[in-house]
Amino acid sequence: MELFFCSNVAIYFYFMNRISYPLNFSFFSILVMLVSSPVFSGEAHGQISGAEAVEGFLYDLPDVRFEASDFQWDNVKGAWNLKVRQPLDHDHPEKGSFYQRVYLSHRSADLPVVMVTEGYSRGFNYPSELAEAMGANQIIVEHRYYGESVPDSMDYDYLNIRQAAHDLHRIRTMLTGLYSGPWVASGISKGGQTTLYYRYFFPEDVAVSVPYVAPINLSLEDERIYAFLKDVGTAKCRKQIEAIQQRILEDYDASLLRLKWHAKGAEYRFGYLTVDEAFEYAVLEYPFSFWQWGADCDEIPAAEESLEVILDHFLEVSGMGFFSDEGMTDYASHYYQCAVEFGYYGYEVEPFAEKLRALGQAGNPSAIFTPDHMDVQYDGGELAQAVYDWLESEGDEIIYINGALDTWSATAMPVNKKRDALYYFLEDQSHGTARIRNMSESQKREVRSTLERWLNLELTGTLAD
């Protein structure tokens, strides 16, 4: 079947090199008809949905394994699960390699391509909002050192922003010949950070970048988070949030006992942190999570309610699972990246210092938990600041989508009217809801017209409806 993807000339010489002379007229006539037929000339690819042409292209790629997927999506003519062999170190391929998980969803070779830059693991294919909005092909790339995209030995020296950007660039280069339409990069949260860092390292790879809820943290303890938490929402709501924290710590022993039983029922294990430390971290995390995920101020119970009511609410918003051993394992690579390059946040303990027992009063504890408590050297925010400055001075053709309630909007790129870019801080939206689908109609029209201007084409997806 590989013959379907050969050129006419190649087919001609394939046969001519395998027949003996004299060549009779009938055989030569058949050969001419075969070579000129639409199947062999490639004209029939559209008639058979293009899937065979894509598989032929993938088959010829070095360092790529693939299998067809049964993933179904509107107007998608074929989907494949890929494993792309990547160098651990793109500057020194001889140091080893790993296979990176990629999902390809194909509509048409002449449509745009949305490359989804995941920040974590990605165990399945899915229709991204942007690809649906544009009517585009889609390529999802799992981040190195997450999920199945891991080397045999977890040598964290090769987990850095630059190497991850080179992974994306290599995949972009590999698949360039498959699509004639423009490329767009997009990701959510840490995936949105990846989108921006990729654009910084390879600004010509994509025509447009669309990061969702993507922070650019400038220090290990970015104090813009503290300023945000002191100003977001109403003063009444912020007081209610602190009152819940104070009530739980006032009833320290009873709260901890109940939460221990909850953790036991959930089969959480605590070895990285003690149960007492995890409990206190969870209490300090409560306001961050409350605003990040858009909890409802009207559903905060009064501090005078029963402890059972208080803790039921607390578990819906924060809880201890994030600080269990499972949480530490799931986010080990993430914490390493934050400690080395990304930066992160901490917890202000001053209002609660006298009530904390496990964490003590020696400064604000960090929300970073490096793998196996390893000591790592922070780059001082050098790369993050360089990217921030580049985006401020040269970051055009970017759509920033943030939620005004989301804690991570505190460290999002600020509005810069000098750039040809769109900045959204969507009212009443959070980390999980700041999406194009939740924009006003006028905002959706602005996104559509701007994308069409930048890409020099008309969108065919949901934004065109």
Can you name the CATH fold of 48-218+383-464? Rossmann fold (3.40.50)
pTM, 2 dp? 0.89
Q: What is the DSSP letter of 70?
A: -
The type of residue at 258 is: R
Q: At what angle do helices 252-265 and 307-317 cross, to 10 degrees?
A: 50
Residue-by-residue pLDDT tens, the chain, 465 positions: 333 333 333 333 333 333 333 444 344 443 334 433 333 333 333 332 488 999 999 999 999 999 999 999 999 999 999 999 999 999 999 999 999 999 999 999 999 999 999 999 999 999 999 999 999 999 999 999 999 999 999 999 999 999 999 999 999 999 999 999 999 999 999 999 999 999 999 999 999 999 999 999 999 999 999 999 999 999 999 999 999 999 999 999 999 999 999 999 999 999 999 999 999 999 999 999 999 999 999 999 999 999 999 999 999 999 999 999 999 999 999 999 999 999 999 999 999 999 999 997 679 999 999 999 999 999 999 999 999 999 999 999 999 999 999 999 999 999 999 999 999 999 999 999 999 999 999 999 999 999 999 999 999 999 998
Q: Omega into 22 within 30° of 0, i.e. cis?
A: yes
Tell whether the torsion through CA atoms of 181, 434, 231 and 281 is positive or negative: negative
End-to-end CA separation in angstroms for the chain = 39
The type of residue at 165 is: A
The per-residue pLDDT for 34 is 40
* Contact by Cβ (8 Å): 393, 314: no
The per-residue pLDDT for 443 is 98
Q: Which CA distances in Å does 316 have to 46, 286, 289?
A: 51, 10, 10
CA–CA separation, 74 and 336 (whole Å): 38
Token look-up 């690809």 returns: 131
Between CA 437 and CA 446, with CA 441 as vertex, the angle to 5 degrees is: 95
**HSE (CB half, 13 Å, CA atoms) of 148?**
14
Element (H, E) at 401: strand 399-403
* Contact by Cβ (8 Å): 308, 261: no
Q: Edge to edge, what strands does the sheet with 422-426 contain?
A: 64-68, 78-87, 97-106, 137-141, 113-117, 183-188, 208-212, 399-403, 422-426
CA–CA separation, 324 and 269 (whole Å): 6
Q: What is the DSSP letter of 420?
A: S
Q: Provide the residue ranges of all domains of the chain, joining segments of one domain with +.
A: 2-43, 48-218+383-464, 225-373
CA–CA separation, 172 and 203 (whole Å): 12
CA–CA separation, 339 and 331 (whole Å): 12
* Contact by Cβ (8 Å): 277, 358: yes
